[in-house]
Chains A and B, each alone.
Chain A
Amino acid sequence: MVPMVANDGEFHGPAIGEFFPEPLWFVGTPFEINRIMLVRFIAVAALLLLFWLGTRRMKVVPGRFQSLIEMGLDLVRVNIAYDLLGKKDGTRFLPVITTAFFMVLFMNITGIIPGLNIAGSSVIGVPLVLAVVAYVCFIYAGVKKSPKNFFRNALFPPGVPSGLYMIVTPIEFFATFVIRPVTLTLRLMMNMIVGHLMLVLFFSATQFFLFQLDGPLKLFGAGTLAFGFVFTLFEILVAVLQAYVFALLTAVYIQLAVAEEH
């Protein structure tokens, strides 16, 4: 992260422009690469390397590293996929749910890695692509299972007096087919954007207090630095939590689509 404080003695807060840095290569093409895209590539490379090494020679009795990798994969497989979807559907959608979880996790965590300092998922592309994948998955799952059941459950929930369907059906349609992907996208993106802005704010304020101001005001720098440190820890939690929530909601939507009745 480039320090946001120019040496002109004035404080510059964090800006949204940080999420649209100068393009580096392929300028103007659909394959334009800027700093955030590079951060994503690094996250993907790290993910591939870690899991390739972790699953290269898997032993029945695992070592430390393999245990760690297995623990991560088990979290998704058992606690999300199998618990919500059961063994059969859980196995069917496991690749998508696993990908959602680890892609979000690795792209989130770059936000606090020194030198990268921005979450790969803080630009709308990643959350949007994953939300579209979840959207396609749950509609596919529902339609494949039973189109009649799926649309009846989604649009005409049972147990509602028939007169109320005039109100309920548009609401249900909106909630299921519009709100779900939008909330998935925005929840993740906004968490990452705000987390980044907060960190920038704290650390640029620290820089400002320590180096631009004189006298006792420098003490404020210690306070903002402490806040920045705590917030960095908080961002680790948020990164894991958002990945978990994203994968969980993907699974929940698929589960609601394949459920007989709800």
Chain B
Amino acid sequence: MLNALLSTASESGGSGTEHSPLIPEVYDLVWSAVCFIVILFFFWKLVLPRVKKLLDDRSAAIEGNIAKADEAQRKAEAALEQYTAQLADARAEAGRIRETAREDGKKIVADARDTATAEAARVTATAHAQIEAERQSALVSLRAEVGTLAISLASGVLGESLTDDKKATAVVDRFLAELETSDSPSARPRVGSGSTK
């Protein structure tokens, strides 16, 4: 059908010479080839490299933005980590300070108790010493008093003056020695029983 169309078209063609559209003219091929080569080199050497460069730039830009975002995210995470670490440090520090204070407090209380105990002990010891000293002095003075008293009593009773000091002292000492031995609980009944016989 196409052939029929073409042949009728050819027959009614007006430009005189018979042309078959299927047979190429030399000039037709030449100019077609020229057009082709011009366009091929134009795309090959100019347009496509430009487009390639553009696409590379575009992907580089996109990758650059992604990298920037990653960087920002990493920075934010690092900052967060740092803050968290600082917070934990601060908490630990506070805990340590509290612990130290508690320890210090305990130590202070213990020290105070020790000091108080020692002071009390010292006061007690001083008191004891003082009492002992007073007892001793009382004992000494008592001994002298008792001696004098006894001598004078005995002088009175015996009617004889025990003025001879040497003798008097000896008598008193003997008496007191007897008194001390009779003071001891084992000696007392024997002395008692002995004196009653």
Contact = CB atoms under 8 A, between A and B. Distances in A.
B22 interface: yes
A60 B54 contact: yes
Contacts of A126: 32, 35-36
Nearest to A182: B22
A178 to B, nearest CB: 15
Contacts of B16: 17
Nearest to A102: B39
Contacts of B146: none
Where chain B touches its partner, the secondary structure class is helix
Interface string B32-61: 110110111011101110110110011001
A124 B47 contact: no
A70 interface: yes
Interface stretch (B5-13, B107-115, B186-194): B5-13
B31 A55 contact: no
B15 interface: yes
B26 A20 contact: no
A60 B33 CA distance: 35
A114 to B, nearest CB: 22
A99 B14 contact: no
Contact of B39 (A20, A47, A124): A47
A124 B15 contact: no
A230 interface: no
Contacts of A130: 36
A14 B26 contact: no
Given A30-B27, A125-B31, A128-B29, 15 more contacts: A15-B9, A15-B15, A17-B14, A17-B16, A20-B15, A29-B27, A32-B27, A44-B38, A51-B42, A70-B54, A96-B40, A98-B43, A125-B33, A126-B35, A193-B6
Closest 10 pairs between A and B when the two form their complex, measured CB to CB: A17-B13, A125-B28, A125-B32, A17-B15, A95-B44, A32-B27, A15-B13, A16-B9, A129-B32, A58-B54
